[in-house]
Each structure stands twice: as C-alpha cells, then as structure tokens.
Chains A and B, each alone.
Chain A
Amino acid sequence: MRTNDPRATLRLRHPRGTTLWLAALCLAVPLSVCETVARTDLPQRWGLVPSVGSSHRQFEIALRRIEAYVADEGRLDCVFLGSSVVHRGIDPAALGGAYRKHTGRTIRCFNFGIQGVSVATSSRLAELLARRYHPRLLVFGSTARDYSPYAQHQVKSQVATVPWVRYYTGAVSPKGWLAAHSAAFRYYLTYRNWMRADYARAMATRAEEDRYTTREGYDTRRGGRLDVRGNPNPRTQGHYFGVLRDFTIVPEARDGLRRIARLQGSGIQVALLEMPITPTTIPFFPNGERDYAQFVDVLTTTARDTGVLLWRTFGVAPVPFDGWRDWGHLNTKGARVFSEWLGGQMAAMPDVSVAAEGPGNRS
C-alpha cells in the first residue's frame, strides 16, 4: 500500500529532520574535542591508559607495552608468542644480554606470551603482530598442554573475538574500526566497566600487574619455588593431572600451529620453541612418554613441512631444579637461566638483529 493511501497503516509526510541534524551537531562538537585531546599527551599526564576493549588484563598490558616498546626502539627484532609458559618463561632482557655477549650486537625482543591463550588464538595474535609490528623473528613457544582439549577455549572470548583484534586480522566491524582509529574511544574502553561491583578491585589488580611488567613484556613477580625432583603426587597435584587427563592433540591446535608457521616469509622468520618441562612432568600424561611424543611429532612435522626453525629443549635446556614455580611454569631464576640459554641459541642463527629498511618497522 502506498503511504498516501487512506487505507494504509503507514502515513508519513517527509520529515524535515531538524532534530536529527541538530543532534548530530550536538554529538560532533564535544566528540571532536574529546578526540583532539585524546591524541595529545594530556590523557597520559592525567594517568589515563588506553585499552582495546579486551577483558584480559594481561593481554591489554602486553599490547600497551609492545606499542610503547616499538615506539621507543623504532623496531622489533624478535617477538615471543605463546601462553603463560612463554609469559613467565622468557625474560627478554636476560636473553638480550646473552645474545650481546655471544655476538656483540643488540637484539630487541618482546615477550608477548598471554596467559591462557590456546594455539588457535595465538595464531590470530601472530597474524596481528606480524601485520602491525613486522618483527624479523616470531618465536612461538608451547608445551604439550597447549594442545590438549583443556587449553582450547580458556580465554578465546577475551582475546580472539575482541573487535580490535579481529579488525587487525581482517574482520572489519564498526567497533573494531573505532577502537583502531579513535584514541578517545580507546581511553573510554579502559573505564567502560566503571559500574561493575568488582571494578575497583579489577583496576587495582591491573595497576599492580602493570607495575611488575617490564618494558619487554616480562612479568617479574614470578618467584616461588617448587621442588620438582620427585615424581608428582596425583593427590596433591590433582589440578595438573586433571588438565592432562584427556590429553590428545586437538586438530584446532594443530591447525593453529600451521597457520603460525605459514607466516614465514615476507620479511618474517618463524621459529617454533618447545618450552621446557621437567622429566618428572611426563607422569602427568595418561600415556606418559607416548603422549609427549605425539606433541613432539606435531612440532617436528610442522617445522619440516613449512620449513621453519624448531628449538627442542627437552633434556637440552639447562633449567635448574629450583628454577620452577610449579609443574608447568618457570620461576624468575629458571626464566633467567633458560632465556640466557635461548639467547645463545639465537646467536647461532643468521642475524635477526639488523633493522629493516627505513626509519622503523612498525606499520
């Protein structure tokens, strides 16, 4: 029915739209002012911090640190990616020191290990890091646990589905675009949950984590010590047994690993790193060494098929018995020793510390 039909339900005359135009003007003026101010250094002087809208605190801190790091250094030679085993296991400062000792050159490395991320989510992040920061070397560190069913969906919604992440990995959305291009919006995102009951506690925790994270992304708080010389006790270590109880290599994780390896080329070298575990961890797996061999097989097969470098560490990396915080993670001592060893391994590689052409390699 036409709108001028007397029987029609919808009978509209062309509105002038004055209210809408005026409202657009009312919005445009203050928002422009906010955006202008947000692009100055005033917000930082006021102590405000930006966010990309993720609820994963450590991911947000890592992003802010890497932005600042690349801005300061002008380039990124090497970035480490993976879950908490990487975040707590690699100290880029110690690694850089060892590298300099072996080669006399400086290497600029950043630890982008994110607690709880699966291999599939890491592959999205690898894509993001490659596009945004163009590191010369991208090292993906993992343990067998990262390929188990348990590890697959822990923080996916907090990281991989964040519109900003999706925007930089090819899925454009209005919110992703805004987070990528509006400084004012990024500042608001940090405080978007101001009404939540746990807001004050969350902000305090964020501030504390922020304080203990080095400019290279490493968390320095990971002290503590677990004596890992004896075999684990299923009764007292029930959680770890539980995590690996149904161990199998999940296809999603295998595919994620391949996606990371395929980033090799166009100026980026990819390396896979088997993160260290103690021999006494093997009993956690339901089929012991057979299960662990499955994981090693995935790494070697992927490295062989895609031509990327693989660093094996099991029985090779010199982690002291008091270098463990728990059955899966290194403490600060273990991280330092392991990072120095890794720095030595990297020193043997073709030079990754030479800057790319131009003033910087950040997009």
Chain B
Amino acid sequence: MSLTSVEFALFVTAVLAVYYLLPGRAQCGWLLLASYVFYGTWDWRFPVALAGLTAANFVIGRRLRVARQARRPLLWLGIGINLAALAGCKYGDVLGAALQPLLASAAHTDGDVLLRLALPVGLSFQVVQAIGYLVDSSRGQVAAEDDLLSFALYLAYFPKLLAGPIERPRPFIQQLRAARVVDNAALARSGAQILVGLVRKLAIGDSLAAMIPDAAFTTPASVAGVGGWLVVYAFALYNDFAGYTSLVRGVSGLFGIELSPNFASPFFARNLTEFWNRWHMSLSFWLRDYVYLPLSRALLRRNLSRYNVPNLVAPPLAAMLACGLWHGPGLNMVLWGALHGVYLVGERVWTLARPSRPLPQRPWWRHALGMGRVFALVVLALIPFRMPLPIAAEFVAALGTARGWGGLDPRALACIVPAVWIDWVQARGRDETVFLRWSPMARAAALAVALLVLFLAAQRDVDAPFVYQGF
C-alpha cells in the first residue's frame, strides 16, 4: 500500500475512526494491529520478520536492564543480531543468488520464500531504532518496566515504518504513555504537513525524477548535460524524501504522536556540518549519538588534544562510512560515505587552522559562498550515491567534457524554483507549517494552488515509489 495512494488515505481514515473512540492503552494496541496489517499489505512475510526482530530485541533489552554483569557482551550480541539482519537485508540479492539452490533443496520448497524474508522494506530503519533501544537500555535511559506493547509499537508504528524518521525510544515511548490530544491547531498542522509532503513528493520530486533520461545514469557519455541532470537528481531526491517525511509526520500528527523532523532546508546549509544537521536529521543525529560521540569519547580518553589526528579524522570518517554502509552494500555507497567523511574532516581541519567568526556574524556573501560550496560538494558526492562505481567513473569523465555541462532543462526550473521557494519560506519562518500563520486569503490561495497542482500531477502516467523505501 503506497503512502500516496487512495487506499492509504482510506486506511488511515478507518484506523483514525476507531482510534479516537478507544481509551489510551487500547489505542496503542489498535495502532500496533493496524501497523502490522499495513506492513502485511506489502508482503505477508514482512510482519513475521518484524515480529521476530521485535521479540529478539525486547528480550535482550529486558536482560540488559536487569543484568549487573556481562552487560557489554549482551549488548554486542543484540547489536550483532540486528546488524546480521541488516546485512541479510542489504546483501540479500548477492546472497540470494548464491544460496537459492541450496535453500530450495534443503527446505524442499521454493528457496525464494525463505530468502525474501531477509528483504523486508524498511528493515534498515527498524534495525537502527532497535540498536538505539538496546544501547539506551544498557545505559538505563529507557524506563525499566517491561512494556512489550510500547516497544513493539515503537518499531512498527506504521507512519514511520517504511522509511523513518528514525525515532529514539524514550521520547517516542513517552508519547505513547502520555495522553494524546488532537485539537484544531494540531489538525491544521497535520493537514499542512500532509499537503506540503504531497506537493513535494508528487508534484516536485516525481516530476524532476521523471525528467531525467535513464541513460544519464547508465551511459552518461551518450547524454548531453549530465551535470544538469545531477543537479535535477539532487532536488528530486531531496523533495522525494522531504515530501515523505512531511507526509508521515502529518499523518502521525492525526494520532497525536509527533515524529522527529528529518529536513530543515538543507540546501541553505553554509558548511558541511550544518548540512548534516539539516539533512536526514534523524539518521545523522543517530549516527552522532551512537557512532560519532562514543568513538570521540573513547579517543579523547586516550589523548585529550583537539589536534590529535585520530581524534580529528576517525569519528567523522567512521560515522559517514557507517552512513554509507547503512544506505547499501556497494562500494559506491562506501565511497559516498567516505567522501562526506573527508569533507567533514577537511572542514574541521580548516576550522582549527583558521578560526573564523560564528555563522550568524558572517556577511551575506560568505553565506552565499558557503551555500554554493556545500551544494556543489553534496551534488558531486551524489555521483557514487546514484550509480555503481564503473558508471560513476564514466559520469565523472563526462563531466570533464564541455558536453557534460549543457544548460539546465527549463522544465526542471519550473519544479526547482517552487521547491526552493518552499524551503525559503519554511527556513525564514523557522517552521515547516509557517503557511498557517499567513492571512486567510494568502492561506486559501496557497491551498488552492497546492490542490490544483496535486490534481494535475495525479493525471500523468508516472508512478514512482519513495526513494528511501529502497534503503
């Protein structure tokens, strides 16, 4: 069931209708049931896999909270189980091809049935949330009482099941235990988030993605202006994922549960560190808290100097390599992560060597320069993100020719300009639903335009799933 389908809208309406009638604790049970049903609409084996992951993590988490000894091996066992599931997911295709005949003969059945269990959509997101839960449990940061229902819902909650945001256990579970309220303001806010999400995804992201010729990322030498198509891809990817996040946050708001934001106008970032504080925030904050900071602390315990090379290099590089591997098993993803790691290291070294004024005190032209630099670096890093290494090499070679830098398709500008405008309005108002503060006439005009654009976008023969569902 696609999140942009009429079926999903009807599903949410039906779930809400019952949800509002139930008392607090029963609401959680109902949401869990609905989440598993929703997951089952993708493939009936997915809920089975999720239930297994939930049970394993819950048992280990419980033992972690009560164990006085051997807490660390138990934590690593739990992390190992989750990483093994993730590796099974990410390397499923490769393993699948090799193991299919073996599994088929061993089980006397279709080996495909067994292998597909290793590839449920959204597993990457569930795994990192589970690891977060185990680490927080071992640190005593998750409430000590046993609550399987809350934990199961934390992993399975259907608005965030497919592609996040990656939630932290404590704030999420606290919301499940508290009374939830959906009043007029919350309803308006959710509606605005859903509308902005749909516009970003259907009208902007999908349109931009549909413009890019297939050959641009398969045989780049044969296409003129691949540089322009890379920029188009950057905006397509961003609006696809930002649209998804806005949509699911809006849907979740209807249940009185707030999900974490994932984006804050990332293309307005003035340095790479700021970019990662604005792009896929729930993942980058997770990496910061569970990879970067622990490694940093461990290194600082050995050498307290800020200028110590391992202290400077290892944490950002490790965090970004983990980020790359989380996205996919290919060397191209490793390279993408490494590139961002190197960017961050370079930025840290530069900052240490030439301390400059804090961001808010810099003149406008330095902001503009910084934004341009960050955008260029991020877009260049998208080359290995989008295509396997041999083709990425061809792409870079194509960029080196005059033919690789043709003008940007004017159709793309028709989508990019409104996308940047939405970002600008949201960044300026420091609120993604800033539109609600507009005058009634301006609000109505924006609503009318959004509805018309969505209606027109729905007529085309383009149907694209959310990009991050693939991760």
A residues touching B (Cβ–Cβ < 8 Å)?
A: 1, 7-13, 15, 18-27, 31, 53, 55, 175, 188-189, 192-197
- The complex places the Cα of A25 from the Cα of B441 at a distance, in Å, of 10
How many residues of chain B get a CB closer than 8 Å to chain A's CBs?
Answer: 39
- Within 8 Å CB of A193, what residues of B? 210, 460-462
- Within 8 Å CB of A194, what residues of B? 411, 460
In the complex, the chain B residue whose C-beta lies closest to that of A185 is B459
Q: Choose one: A9, A21, A23, A53; the contact of B451 (CB below 8 Å).
A: A23
- Asked if B181 CB lies within 8 Å of chain A CBs, one says yes
Q: How far is the CB of B190 from chain A (nearest CB, A)?
A: 12
Q: How far is the CB of B71 from chain A (nearest CB, A)?
A: 38
In the complex, the chain B residue whose C-beta lies closest to that of A25 is B444
- Within 8 Å CB of B212, what residues of A? 197
By the criterion CB–CB under 8 Å, are B181 and A19 in contact? no
By the criterion CB–CB under 8 Å, are B20 and A196 in contact? no
- Asked if B103 CB lies within 8 Å of chain A CBs, one says no
- The complex places the Cα of A53 from the Cα of B461 at a distance, in Å, of 9
Q: How far is the CB of B198 from chain A (nearest CB, A)?
A: 15
Known pairs A9-B180, A192-B460, A196-B210; A26 contacts B444 (CB<8 A) = yes
- Return 19 A-B CB contacts under 8 Å, by A number: A1-B20, A7-B179, A9-B180, A9-B255, A12-B184, A12-B187, A20-B444, A20-B447, A22-B445, A23-B444, A23-B447, A27-B452, A55-B461, A188-B459, A192-B461, A193-B460, A194-B411, A195-B208, A195-B462
Known A-B contacts: A11-B183, A26-B445. Give 8 more (CB < 8 A): A9-B20, A10-B20, A12-B183, A21-B444, A22-B441, A23-B445, A55-B461, A192-B459
Known pairs A9-B181, A193-B460, A195-B411; A19 contacts B27 (CB<8 A) = no
A-B pairs with the 10 shortest C-beta distances? A22-B444, A26-B448, A195-B207, A23-B447, A23-B444, A197-B213, A10-B20, A23-B448, A192-B459, A27-B448
Known pairs A23-B448, A192-B456; A15 contacts B21 (CB<8 A) = no
Q: Residues 244-260 of chain B: 1 if any A CB is under 8 Å from the residue's CB, otherwise 0?
A: 00000000000110000
Q: How far is the CB of A48 from chain B (nearest CB, A)?
A: 16
- The complex places the Cα of A55 from the Cα of B460 at a distance, in Å, of 10
- The complex places the Cα of A1 from the Cα of B211 at a distance, in Å, of 49
Interface positions, chain B 1-51, Cβ under 8 Å from A, are 19-21, 23, 27
By the criterion CB–CB under 8 Å, are A195 and B210 in contact? yes
By the criterion CB–CB under 8 Å, are B462 and A9 in contact? no
By the criterion CB–CB under 8 Å, are A189 and B459 in contact? yes
By the criterion CB–CB under 8 Å, are A8 and B20 in contact? yes
- Asked if B182 CB lies within 8 Å of chain A CBs, one says yes
By the criterion CB–CB under 8 Å, are B440 and A19 in contact? yes
- Within 8 Å CB of A12, what residues of B? 182-184, 187
By the criterion CB–CB under 8 Å, are B214 and A22 in contact? no
- Within 8 Å CB of A55, what residues of B? 461
- The complex places the Cα of A266 from the Cα of B105 at a distance, in Å, of 63
In the complex, the chain A residue whose C-beta lies closest to that of B449 is A26
Interface positions, chain B 102-148, Cβ under 8 Å from A, are none
- The complex places the Cα of A280 from the Cα of B272 at a distance, in Å, of 71
- Within 8 Å CB of A20, what residues of B? 444, 447
By the criterion CB–CB under 8 Å, are A197 and B451 in contact? no
- Within 8 Å CB of B177, what residues of A? none
- The complex places the Cα of A1 from the Cα of B182 at a distance, in Å, of 13
Q: Choose one: B23, B256, B441, B445; the contact of A1 (CB below 8 Å).
A: B23
- Within 8 Å CB of B208, what residues of A? 195
**Which of A11, A13, A20 counts the most B-chain CB atoms under 10 A from its CB?**
A11
- Within 8 Å CB of B211, what residues of A? 195-197
In the complex, the chain B residue whose C-beta lies closest to that of A14 is B184
Q: Choose one: A22, A24, A175; the contact of B440 (CB below 8 Å).
A: A22
In the complex, the chain B residue whose C-beta lies closest to that of A27 is B448
By the criterion CB–CB under 8 Å, are A11 and B411 in contact? no
- Asked if B430 CB lies within 8 Å of chain A CBs, one says no
In the complex, the chain B residue whose C-beta lies closest to that of A6 is B179
Q: How far is the CB of A98 from chain B (nearest CB, A)?
A: 41
- Asked if B297 CB lies within 8 Å of chain A CBs, one says no
- The complex places the Cα of A243 from the Cα of B66 at a distance, in Å, of 69
In the complex, the chain A residue whose C-beta lies closest to that of B215 is A197
In the complex, the chain B residue whose C-beta lies closest to that of A195 is B207
Q: How far is the CB of B230 from chain A (nearest CB, A)?
A: 15
Q: Choose one: A9, A13, A15, A23; the contact of B182 (CB below 8 Å).
A: A9
By the criterion CB–CB under 8 Å, are B459 and A11 in contact? no
In the complex, the chain A residue whose C-beta lies closest to that of B412 is A195
Interface positions, chain B 388-411, Cβ under 8 Å from A, are 411
- The complex places the Cα of A53 from the Cα of B441 at a distance, in Å, of 34
Q: Residues 415-451 of chain B: 1 if any A CB is under 8 Å from the residue's CB, otherwise 0?
A: 1000000000000000000000000110111011101
- Within 8 Å CB of A21, what residues of B? 444
In the complex, the chain A residue whose C-beta lies closest to that of B441 is A22
By the criterion CB–CB under 8 Å, are B441 and A11 in contact? no
- Within 8 Å CB of A19, what residues of B? 440, 443-444, 447
- The complex places the Cα of A22 from the Cα of B442 at a distance, in Å, of 9
By the criterion CB–CB under 8 Å, are B459 and A9 in contact? no
Known pairs A7-B179, A9-B19; A195 contacts B256 (CB<8 A) = no
- Within 8 Å CB of B19, what residues of A? 9
